[in-house]
Amino acid sequence: MSETQSYEIRIGATTDGGSRVPDLTPREAFERWLGRLRGSKADSTVSAYHYQLKLFIEWCEDESITPINDLTGWDIETYETHRRETGIELISLNKELGTLKQFLEYCARIELVDENLPEKVDPPDVPKEEQVDNTRLHTDDARALLAHYETDDFGSRAHALLSLAWFVGARLGGLRSLDLKHYDSDDEYLQFVHRPDEDTPLKNGLDGERAVGLPRHVCDVVDAYIANHRHDTFDEYGRKPLFTSSVGRGSENSVRVWMYMATFPCHHSPCPHGKESDTCEFIDHTQASKCPSSRSPHQVRTGSITWQLNRGVPIEVVAKRVNTSVRTLEKHYDQPTKREELEERRRQFVDRLDFGGSGGEQE
C-alpha cells in the first residue's frame, strides 16, 4: 500500500455563518478514511479497499475534481460508465462501487459531501452463479494427494501444510501465524492467536482467536514434520513458527506457493495437462500458481468447508472451526455439486420416505 500522503487542510469560507468544513481533495479524504479504518480492520481489508478505490481517486484527479465536495451524482455515473467500458467483470465492479459507497458515507457523515451523495452510488446486481469462485480442491483430489504423502513423503512440510489446511479449513494467514507452541499433540488441537504487532494478524482480529481440534492421524503427520522436516529457526520477533523456511517464518506469498506446489496433481497421477515432470515449467516455484490444477490456500479452504459439511458436521460447528459466519459460509464457501448434495446430505432421509414402520402419520 502506498504511504499516507501529508496534506494541508484548507478551510473554505461559509456564507451562512455555520461550521466550516475542510476543502479536502478526494485523495486527502481517501487517505483520512483509510487511516481511520486501520484502527479496526485487518491490513488485508484496508489494502483491498485501497486497490478498489485507487482508480476512482486517480480518475477524479484526471477530471480535476477538487475539492471532493464538487463531486456529483453525474460524476459517479460517468465513472461507472468509464469502468464498464474497460470490460471490468460485473463482480469486480460491484465490489468497487460498494466500497465507493462506504467511502462516501464516511465523507457525508463528516460533511465533506452532500448527505444524499452516497445514495447516488448504485452497485450492479450480480447473478448468484457469479458471486463465488467455484474453483476448489475437490474431495477426490484431496484424498489422492494425502494418500500420496502417506506413502511417499510422510511428514513433509507439504504434507503437514495440506493436512492442516484440509482438516481445519484455515485461512492462509491463520496457517502462517501458527507457532510451535500453538500446536498441542497430546490434546490434539491448534490455537490461533492474533498478533498484529508481530506480523501475524488474523483476518477477524481477536474474534479470530480460537482452539480447533485435530484428528489423531493429522497430529501424527504434524509430529513427523516437526521431528524430521521443520527448519529449527526463529522469526524476527524471536518466535518459533510452525511452518518455516530456512530463514524463518514464511511470507504470505511463500505459504501460498507452498500450497500450490503441495497440490500438483502429478504427485499422485499422470499429469492431466500432458506435461512431463522433468520439463514442466510449473514445477518451478515462480510458476507453480499457473498450473491449471494446483490450488491456492483459499481454494483448499473452500473444498475443506464443502467436505466438512458433506460429512455431516453441523454448519454452526464448521463456521466456528473456520472462523466465519454461517451466512458467509453459505454464500461464499459451501459449494456442493448436485450429486454431492444428494449422496452426502439428503440420502440419509430417503429411507424415511416409506409408508411402513412407525414413520407414517395416521389420518
DSSP string, 214-250: --HHHHHHHHHHHHHT------TTS--BSSEETTEEP
Does the domain formed by 139-311 have CATH 3.40.50.10130?
A: no
Q: Residues near 141 by Cβ (< 8 Å), separated by ≥ 6?
A: 263, 265, 293, 303
Q: Nearest-CA neighbor of 5 among 45, 44, 61?
A: 61
Cβ atoms within 10 A of the Cβ of 240, count? 16
Task: Quote the strand ranges of 232-354, DSSP E.
Answer: 244-245, 248-249
Contact 103, 96 (CB under 8 A): no
Q: Would you state the pLDDT for residue 215?
A: 94
Query: In the chain, what is the straight-line distance between the N-terminal and C-terminal CA atoms, in Å?
Result: 68
Torsion of CA 38, 44, 49, 52, to 10 degrees: 160
Q: DSSP label at 40?
A: T
Would you call the peptide bond into 241 cis, given omega within 30 degrees of 0 as the criterion? Answer: no
What's the pTM?
0.65
**2-14 per-position pLDDT tens digit:** 444 444 444 444 4
Between CA 132 and CA 320 the distance in angstroms is: 21
Q: Would you state the pLDDT for residue 255?
A: 96
Between CA 22 and CA 14 the distance in angstroms is: 11
The tens place of each residue's pLDDT in the chain, 363 residues long, gives 444 444 444 444 443 444 577 889 999 999 999 999 987 777 778 888 998 999 999 999 999 998 999 999 999 999 999 999 998 888 889 989 999 999 999 999 999 999 999 999 999 987 765 555 567 898 889 999 999 999 989 999 999 999 999 999 999 999 999 999 999 999 999 999 999 999 999 999 999 999 999 999 999 999 999 999 999 999 999 999 999 999 999 999 999 999 999 999 888 777 877 787 778 888 888 888 888 889 999 999 999 998 998 888 889 999 999 999 998 887 776 666 555 555 555 555 555 555 555 444 444
Q: Would you state the pLDDT for residue 173?
A: 95
Q: Can you read off the three cell numbers belonging to residue 317? A: 460447528
Cα Rg of the chain (Å, integer):
25
**3-class state of residue 210 by DSSP:** strand
189 membership: H or E segment, kind and range:
strand 189-192
Q: Would you state the pLDDT for residue 334?
A: 63
The full set of domain ranges for the chain reads 26-130, 139-311
**114-166 per-position pLDDT tens digit:** 999 999 999 998 776 555 556 789 888 999 999 999 998 999 999 999 999 99
> Topology of domain 26-130, per CATH?
DNA polymerase; domain 1 (1.10.150)
Q: Would you state the pLDDT for residue 286?
A: 85
Cβ atoms within 10 A of the Cβ of 49, count? 21
Q: Helices 157-168 and 216-228 meet at what angle, rounded to 10?
A: 150
